[in-house]
Amino acid sequence: MRKEKVRHAAWLLILFLGVFISAAGCRTTTRSGLPAHIRTVEVHIFHNKTMHKGIENWLAREIIDRLNTDARIRVVSRGGDAVITGEIKSVTRSTLRETTTNTPGTVLITVNAEYSFYDQIERRYIIDDAAISSRDTGLSYGIYEAARGEMPEQGERGAARAMAAEIVRRTVGRW
């Protein structure tokens, strides 16, 4: 009986070490998600077809900040190996909760856009006019508390942050 317990413990230890080594190997990869020839990326400010001004600037800044976290990619203002461009199509506000006086309490801002990722070296679109929404992340970005005096810009910035994260995930992380 004692030998069986030792054998069982040994198998559990081997299993644990196998899972640990596999997980550690996945986390230490040095490959970028982009083709090898793309080392620099331009981020153009999205064309904004809405009345909500400023979102295009926040979105560009968030994309740049996210790309800058990857040491293998450099964001440049001109002459990049690839370019991210896009167009903000709509911005909607949805009341999630009303106050006791029937005024908006919690509001969700949703930004809908299209974006493209163009490989300037191979002269081809890697992603062409892909639809994207700040809701695609499933996170609660874009929510602001109107009842507490928060401004709509807080929700718009949050929505831009969520959209930027999804754009970078789809471009850099898609390969």
- Per DSSP, the residues of 72-104 read T-EE-SSS-SEEEEEEEEEEEEEEEEE-TTSSE
User: What gap in Å lies between CA 92 and CA 112, rounded to an integer?
Assistant: 8
Per-position pLDDT tens, the chain of length 175: 555 655 555 554 455 555 555 544 444 344 456 889 999 999 999 999 999 899 999 999 999 999 999 888 999 999 999 999 999 999 999 999 999 899 999 999 999 999 999 999 999 999 999 999 988 766 668 889 999 999 998 999 999 999 999 999 998 875 4
Query: Do 41 and 76 contact (CB within 8 A), yes or no?
Result: yes
Q: Which fold has domain 34-172?
A: Double Stranded RNA Binding Domain (3.30.160)
77, 78, 149, 160: which is closest to 113 by C-alpha? 160
User: What gap in Å lies between CA 53 and CA 73, rounded to an integer?
Assistant: 29
Domain ranges across the chain = 1-30, 34-172
